[in-house]
Amino acid sequence: MSAPDLSVRRFLLPPMHREGRRFVWIAGACALLAAVIWPPLFFVGLLLTYGVFLFFRDPERITPDDPQTLFSPADGIVCLLMQVPIPAVLEAGDRPVWRVSVFMSVLDVHVNRMPIAGTVVKKHYIPGAFLNASLDKASDSNERMLYLTQTPAGQTLAFVQIAGLIARRIVSFVQEGQTLVSGERFGLIRFGSRVDVYLPPGVEPCVHIGQTMVAGETPIARL
C-alpha cells in the first residue's frame, strides 16, 4: 500500500479507545434495527455509528522529551486564562496560580494526557451539574475529577476533568500513588467537556485564549 493510501486510511479509520467499543456496538445494533423498520434508515444509522467511532478515536501522539515543559492535557481550544487558587479539596494551599482551561467540543479527541511526568498524590471525584463547560462557573458547579500530582523535581501540579452539557461520564485510568510519564493517557470525558490545568506557583502560561491545542504535543508553559 502506498504512503498516501495509508494516510487516508489512518484519517478515516484512526485507532479507537477501548472505552468506545460498547457505544459503537450499540449504535451499530440500532442501525440494524432501523433497517428492519425502514431500510433507508440503515444508512442514517451507519453514519451515526461512524460518528460515535470517531468520537472515541485515540490517535497516537509524540510527546517531546522535555522535563521542563508542560503540555496540553487535551485537544481543543483555550477558553479561559486566569489566576485562581487550586481547589481547596486538593489541600495544596490558597495561593493564586495560573489556570489554563482547554475546552473540548464533540468534534475533538476526548482522551486526556499527562501534562508532565509525575506521581498522582491525590485524586478526588465531585458530582455536580452539567453546565456549558466553557463557562468559568463550571469549575465549581459541574461534575469533575480532580488530580494533584508531584513532578520528579518536587513541583506541585493540579488538573481537573470537567463534564459539560453533553458529557455525563468522566473516566479515569489512574490511581493515587501511580507514576506516569509526560503525554501518557490518564482519562477521558464522554461527549464534550473541559480540562483545567493549575500551573505550579510562579509559572506563567505560554498560550492565549482561542489557541488550538493538541494533547501531549502543544506546550502550555515552561517550568
Residues with a known catalytic role: 193
Residue bearing cell 506546550: 219
How far apart (Å, rounded) are the C-alpha atoms in residues 146 and 166? 19
Phi, psi of 33 (to 5 degrees): -65, -40
How far apart (Å, rounded) are the C-alpha atoms in residues 32 and 30? 5
Residue bearing cell 483555550: 78
What residue type is assigned to position 23 of the chain?
A: F
Residue bearing cell 482561542: 210
Q: Quick one: CA torsion of 95, 80, 195, 192, rounded to 10 degrees?
A: 150
